[in-house]
Amino acid sequence: MRNTLLYFTVIIFAISFTSCRDCEEEVEDSVAALWKNGIKQELPYGDLSDYLDIRTYSIFVSGSDVYVVGSERSAGKGILWKNGIAQVLPFIRSSSLSVFVSENDVYVVGNNMVWKNGEVVYTLNDGLYSISVYEGDVYVAGDKHVWKNGEVIQTLGSEANSIVVYNGDVYVATEYTVYKNGEVIQSANKGEHFYSLFILDGDVYIGGNGKVWKNGNVEYSINGSVSSVFVSGNDVYVTTEFYVFKNGEVIQSASVSEYSPLIIDSFSSVFVSGNDVYVSGYYFKTVRYCD
Protein backbone atom coordinates (compact mmCIF):
# COMPACT_ATOMS: atom_id res chain seq x y z
CA MET A 1 0.00 0.00 0.00
CA ARG A 2 2.82 2.39 0.89
CA ASN A 3 4.50 1.72 -2.48
CA THR A 4 1.22 2.42 -4.25
CA LEU A 5 0.80 5.75 -2.45
CA LEU A 6 4.38 6.69 -3.27
CA TYR A 7 3.77 5.83 -6.93
CA PHE A 8 0.73 8.11 -7.16
CA THR A 9 2.55 10.88 -5.29
CA VAL A 10 5.32 10.82 -7.89
CA ILE A 11 2.80 11.00 -10.74
CA ILE A 12 0.98 13.94 -9.17
CA PHE A 13 4.27 15.74 -8.57
CA ALA A 14 5.36 15.13 -12.16
CA ILE A 15 2.09 16.46 -13.56
CA SER A 16 2.23 19.51 -11.30
CA PHE A 17 5.85 20.17 -12.23
CA THR A 18 5.14 19.87 -15.95
CA SER A 19 2.10 22.15 -15.80
CA CYS A 20 4.12 24.83 -14.04
CA ARG A 21 6.92 24.82 -16.59
CA ASP A 22 7.26 27.86 -18.84
CA CYS A 23 6.37 26.66 -22.34
CA GLU A 24 6.22 28.50 -25.63
CA GLU A 25 4.86 27.38 -28.97
CA GLU A 26 6.60 28.48 -32.15
CA VAL A 27 5.65 28.07 -35.79
CA GLU A 28 8.17 25.84 -37.57
CA ASP A 29 6.67 25.72 -41.08
CA SER A 30 3.58 26.70 -42.99
CA VAL A 31 2.64 23.79 -45.22
CA ALA A 32 0.20 23.49 -48.14
CA ALA A 33 -2.91 21.46 -47.44
CA LEU A 34 -5.96 20.04 -49.13
CA TRP A 35 -9.17 19.12 -47.33
CA LYS A 36 -11.61 16.65 -48.89
CA ASN A 37 -14.92 16.55 -47.04
CA GLY A 38 -13.18 18.00 -44.00
CA ILE A 39 -10.26 15.54 -43.95
CA LYS A 40 -6.89 17.26 -44.19
CA GLN A 41 -3.93 16.01 -46.18
CA GLU A 42 -0.56 17.67 -46.52
CA LEU A 43 0.64 18.71 -49.97
CA PRO A 44 4.37 17.93 -49.84
CA TYR A 45 7.06 20.13 -51.26
CA GLY A 46 10.84 19.94 -51.16
CA ASP A 47 13.03 19.34 -48.14
CA LEU A 48 10.88 19.69 -45.06
CA SER A 49 13.99 20.09 -42.91
CA ASP A 50 14.21 23.66 -44.22
CA TYR A 51 11.83 26.37 -43.10
CA LEU A 52 8.88 26.62 -45.48
CA ASP A 53 6.52 29.54 -45.91
CA ILE A 54 3.87 28.16 -48.25
CA ARG A 55 0.52 29.63 -49.22
CA THR A 56 -2.11 28.25 -51.58
CA TYR A 57 -4.49 30.40 -53.59
CA SER A 58 -6.67 28.37 -55.94
CA ILE A 59 -8.08 24.87 -56.51
CA PHE A 60 -9.63 23.16 -59.53
CA VAL A 61 -11.00 19.63 -59.86
CA SER A 62 -11.27 17.96 -63.26
CA GLY A 63 -12.55 14.40 -63.25
CA SER A 64 -10.50 12.54 -60.66
CA ASP A 65 -7.62 15.04 -60.80
CA VAL A 66 -7.21 17.72 -58.14
CA TYR A 67 -5.07 20.78 -58.89
CA VAL A 68 -3.88 23.28 -56.29
CA VAL A 69 -1.66 26.27 -56.98
CA GLY A 70 0.42 28.18 -54.45
CA SER A 71 3.86 29.55 -53.70
CA GLU A 72 6.81 29.01 -51.39
CA ARG A 73 7.29 32.61 -50.37
CA SER A 74 10.75 32.50 -48.81
CA ALA A 75 12.23 31.16 -52.07
CA GLY A 76 9.81 32.99 -54.36
CA LYS A 77 8.70 29.87 -56.21
CA GLY A 78 5.29 29.09 -57.64
CA ILE A 79 4.02 25.54 -57.16
CA LEU A 80 1.34 23.51 -58.91
CA TRP A 81 0.19 20.31 -57.22
CA LYS A 82 -1.62 17.65 -59.23
CA ASN A 83 -2.99 14.91 -57.02
CA GLY A 84 -0.45 15.84 -54.35
CA ILE A 85 2.60 15.88 -56.66
CA ALA A 86 4.38 19.24 -56.76
CA GLN A 87 5.66 20.95 -59.89
CA VAL A 88 7.73 24.13 -59.51
CA LEU A 89 6.73 27.02 -61.76
CA PRO A 90 9.76 29.22 -62.54
CA PHE A 91 9.82 33.01 -62.42
CA ILE A 92 6.85 33.42 -60.09
CA ARG A 93 7.03 35.70 -57.09
CA SER A 94 3.33 36.25 -56.75
CA SER A 95 1.03 36.49 -53.77
CA SER A 96 -1.95 35.57 -55.95
CA LEU A 97 -2.10 32.64 -58.36
CA SER A 98 -5.02 31.02 -60.15
CA VAL A 99 -5.49 27.64 -61.87
CA PHE A 100 -8.03 26.60 -64.50
CA VAL A 101 -8.41 23.30 -66.37
CA SER A 102 -10.09 23.02 -69.77
CA GLU A 103 -10.14 19.87 -71.93
CA ASN A 104 -7.12 18.38 -70.14
CA ASP A 105 -5.09 21.58 -70.55
CA VAL A 106 -3.91 23.12 -67.29
CA TYR A 107 -3.60 26.90 -67.15
CA VAL A 108 -1.92 28.87 -64.37
CA VAL A 109 -1.69 32.63 -64.06
CA GLY A 110 0.62 34.60 -61.78
CA ASN A 111 2.80 37.70 -61.87
CA ASN A 112 2.57 38.80 -65.52
CA MET A 113 2.62 35.31 -67.04
CA VAL A 114 0.17 32.68 -68.24
CA TRP A 115 1.23 29.02 -68.30
CA LYS A 116 -0.37 26.24 -70.32
CA ASN A 117 0.74 22.74 -69.38
CA GLY A 118 3.90 24.11 -67.77
CA GLU A 119 4.95 26.36 -70.66
CA VAL A 120 4.65 30.16 -70.74
CA VAL A 121 2.16 31.16 -73.46
CA TYR A 122 1.69 34.85 -72.61
CA THR A 123 3.84 37.45 -70.91
CA LEU A 124 1.78 40.60 -70.37
CA ASN A 125 2.48 44.07 -69.02
CA ASP A 126 0.12 43.66 -66.07
CA GLY A 127 0.04 41.91 -62.75
CA LEU A 128 -2.36 39.00 -63.31
CA TYR A 129 -4.70 37.51 -60.70
CA SER A 130 -7.45 35.39 -62.22
CA ILE A 131 -8.04 33.21 -65.30
CA SER A 132 -10.95 31.62 -67.15
CA VAL A 133 -10.95 29.59 -70.36
CA TYR A 134 -13.92 29.34 -72.72
CA GLU A 135 -13.98 27.44 -76.03
CA GLY A 136 -10.19 27.56 -76.22
CA ASP A 137 -9.94 31.30 -75.57
CA VAL A 138 -7.89 32.36 -72.56
CA TYR A 139 -9.20 35.28 -70.48
CA VAL A 140 -7.14 36.81 -67.69
CA ALA A 141 -7.73 39.78 -65.41
CA GLY A 142 -5.09 41.84 -63.70
CA ASP A 143 -4.05 45.21 -62.32
CA LYS A 144 -5.56 47.37 -65.04
CA HIS A 145 -6.86 45.22 -67.87
CA VAL A 146 -8.82 42.22 -69.04
CA TRP A 147 -7.04 40.17 -71.68
CA LYS A 148 -8.26 37.65 -74.27
CA ASN A 149 -5.57 35.51 -75.86
CA GLY A 150 -2.95 38.11 -74.99
CA GLU A 151 -4.90 41.14 -76.28
CA VAL A 152 -6.55 43.81 -74.12
CA ILE A 153 -10.36 43.77 -74.33
CA GLN A 154 -11.18 45.95 -71.31
CA THR A 155 -9.46 48.60 -69.21
CA LEU A 156 -10.36 48.56 -65.52
CA GLY A 157 -10.57 51.34 -62.97
CA SER A 158 -8.92 49.17 -60.32
CA GLU A 159 -7.30 45.75 -60.07
CA ALA A 160 -9.40 42.68 -60.73
CA ASN A 161 -9.99 40.00 -58.12
CA SER A 162 -11.91 37.47 -60.20
CA ILE A 163 -12.91 36.67 -63.79
CA VAL A 164 -15.49 34.16 -65.04
CA VAL A 165 -16.55 33.52 -68.64
CA TYR A 166 -19.99 31.93 -68.88
CA ASN A 167 -21.73 31.20 -72.20
CA GLY A 168 -19.41 33.69 -73.86
CA ASP A 169 -20.17 36.52 -71.42
CA VAL A 170 -17.19 37.93 -69.54
CA TYR A 171 -17.75 38.77 -65.87
CA VAL A 172 -15.09 40.60 -63.87
CA ALA A 173 -15.07 41.63 -60.23
CA THR A 174 -12.84 44.41 -58.97
CA GLU A 175 -12.91 45.49 -55.35
CA TYR A 176 -15.82 47.88 -55.86
CA THR A 177 -17.39 46.97 -59.23
CA VAL A 178 -18.68 43.94 -61.12
CA TYR A 179 -18.73 44.06 -64.92
CA LYS A 180 -20.46 41.98 -67.59
CA ASN A 181 -18.93 42.42 -71.03
CA GLY A 182 -17.45 45.73 -69.93
CA GLU A 183 -20.69 47.14 -68.51
CA VAL A 184 -21.22 47.73 -64.79
CA ILE A 185 -23.84 45.38 -63.31
CA GLN A 186 -23.15 45.93 -59.61
CA SER A 187 -21.36 48.58 -57.57
CA ALA A 188 -20.32 48.30 -53.96
CA ASN A 189 -22.02 50.39 -51.33
CA LYS A 190 -19.97 52.19 -48.72
CA GLY A 191 -17.90 49.69 -46.75
CA GLU A 192 -18.51 46.83 -49.20
CA HIS A 193 -15.82 45.00 -51.17
CA PHE A 194 -15.98 42.28 -53.84
CA TYR A 195 -13.45 39.43 -53.94
CA SER A 196 -14.83 36.37 -55.76
CA LEU A 197 -17.29 35.53 -58.56
CA PHE A 198 -19.28 32.48 -59.60
CA ILE A 199 -21.84 32.26 -62.40
CA LEU A 200 -24.40 29.47 -62.72
CA ASP A 201 -27.46 29.41 -65.00
CA GLY A 202 -27.10 33.14 -65.51
CA ASP A 203 -27.17 33.89 -61.79
CA VAL A 204 -24.30 36.04 -60.53
CA TYR A 205 -22.86 35.15 -57.12
CA ILE A 206 -20.37 37.52 -55.50
CA GLY A 207 -18.36 36.99 -52.33
CA GLY A 208 -17.15 39.99 -50.39
CA ASN A 209 -16.38 41.24 -46.92
CA GLY A 210 -18.95 39.54 -44.74
CA LYS A 211 -21.55 39.03 -47.47
CA VAL A 212 -22.56 36.85 -50.39
CA TRP A 213 -24.71 38.43 -53.09
CA LYS A 214 -26.92 36.75 -55.70
CA ASN A 215 -27.97 38.95 -58.60
CA GLY A 216 -27.32 42.09 -56.58
CA ASN A 217 -29.17 41.02 -53.44
CA VAL A 218 -27.56 39.88 -50.20
CA GLU A 219 -27.99 36.12 -49.99
CA TYR A 220 -26.01 35.51 -46.79
CA SER A 221 -24.16 37.49 -44.17
CA ILE A 222 -21.18 35.62 -42.79
CA ASN A 223 -18.23 36.06 -40.46
CA GLY A 224 -15.11 37.06 -42.41
CA SER A 225 -14.08 38.12 -45.89
CA VAL A 226 -14.85 35.70 -48.70
CA SER A 227 -11.88 34.27 -50.58
CA SER A 228 -13.82 31.88 -52.83
CA VAL A 229 -17.38 31.07 -53.94
CA PHE A 230 -18.61 27.87 -55.59
CA VAL A 231 -22.21 26.96 -56.45
CA SER A 232 -23.35 23.37 -56.95
CA GLY A 233 -27.03 22.87 -57.68
CA ASN A 234 -28.87 24.93 -55.07
CA ASP A 235 -25.97 24.98 -52.62
CA VAL A 236 -23.60 27.92 -52.20
CA TYR A 237 -20.16 27.15 -50.76
CA VAL A 238 -17.87 29.88 -49.46
CA THR A 239 -14.43 30.02 -47.89
CA THR A 240 -13.13 32.68 -45.56
CA GLU A 241 -9.75 32.52 -43.87
CA PHE A 242 -10.96 30.33 -41.01
CA TYR A 243 -14.31 28.87 -42.12
CA VAL A 244 -16.06 26.98 -44.89
CA PHE A 245 -19.76 27.76 -45.29
CA LYS A 246 -22.61 25.98 -47.06
CA ASN A 247 -25.70 28.09 -47.57
CA GLY A 248 -24.56 30.47 -44.84
CA GLU A 249 -23.87 27.77 -42.24
CA VAL A 250 -20.40 26.73 -41.09
CA ILE A 251 -19.48 23.21 -42.23
CA GLN A 252 -15.75 23.38 -41.48
CA SER A 253 -13.65 25.41 -39.06
CA ALA A 254 -9.92 25.98 -38.78
CA SER A 255 -8.12 23.87 -36.19
CA VAL A 256 -6.67 25.37 -33.03
CA SER A 257 -3.42 24.18 -31.46
CA GLU A 258 -3.84 21.87 -28.48
CA TYR A 259 -1.28 23.88 -26.53
CA SER A 260 -2.36 27.46 -27.19
CA PRO A 261 -5.11 29.52 -28.82
CA LEU A 262 -3.07 29.63 -32.05
CA ILE A 263 -5.25 29.00 -35.14
CA ILE A 264 -3.20 26.66 -37.30
CA ASP A 265 -5.37 26.27 -40.44
CA SER A 266 -6.18 28.80 -43.15
CA PHE A 267 -8.52 28.27 -46.13
CA SER A 268 -8.15 29.84 -49.58
CA SER A 269 -10.46 28.25 -52.15
CA VAL A 270 -13.33 25.77 -52.52
CA PHE A 271 -14.39 23.46 -55.37
CA VAL A 272 -17.26 20.98 -55.38
CA SER A 273 -17.25 17.88 -57.57
CA GLY A 274 -20.20 15.52 -57.24
CA ASN A 275 -20.78 15.04 -53.53
CA ASP A 276 -17.21 15.92 -52.57
CA VAL A 277 -16.14 19.30 -51.19
CA TYR A 278 -12.48 20.19 -51.77
CA VAL A 279 -10.81 23.07 -49.96
CA SER A 280 -7.27 24.37 -50.46
CA GLY A 281 -5.27 26.19 -47.82
CA TYR A 282 -2.29 25.81 -45.56
CA TYR A 283 -1.54 25.05 -41.94
CA PHE A 284 1.14 25.86 -39.41
CA LYS A 285 3.42 23.16 -38.05
CA THR A 286 4.37 24.16 -34.53
CA VAL A 287 7.02 23.17 -32.02
CA ARG A 288 6.56 23.47 -28.25
CA TYR A 289 9.55 24.50 -26.17
CA CYS A 290 9.51 24.18 -22.37
CA ASP A 291 12.09 25.57 -19.94
- pLDDT, one tens digit per residue, over 113-167 is 999 999 999 999 888 999 999 999 999 999 999 999 999 999 998 999 999 999 9
Are 280 and 82 a contacting pair, CB within 8 Å? no
C-alpha gyration radius of the chain: 22
More confident residue, 63 or 77: 63
Residue-wise pLDDT for 56-72, tens only, equals 999 999 999 999 999 88
Structural domain contains residue 173 = yes
Structural domain contains residue 132 = yes
Domain of residue 193 covers 92-290
Are 162 and 130 a contacting pair, CB within 8 Å? yes
The DSSP element (H or E) to which 123 belongs, if any, is: strand 119-123
Q: Any idea what the CATH number is for the domain that residue 239 is in?
A: 2.130.10.10
Give the C-alpha separation, 143 to 157, whole Å: 9
Structural domain contains residue 1 = no
At position 215, the amino acid (one-letter code) is N
The DSSP symbol for 12 reads H
Q: Compute CA distances 179 → 21, 197, 275, whole Å.
A: 58, 11, 31
- The count of structural domains within the chain is 1
Structural domain contains residue 172 = yes
Structural domain contains residue 160 = yes
- Model's pTM, two decimal places? 0.87
Burial class (CB in 10 A: 0-12, 13-18, 19+), 246: middle
Structural domain contains residue 263 = yes
Structural domain contains residue 56 = no
Residue-wise pLDDT for 210-237, tens only, equals 999 999 999 999 999 999 999 999 999 9
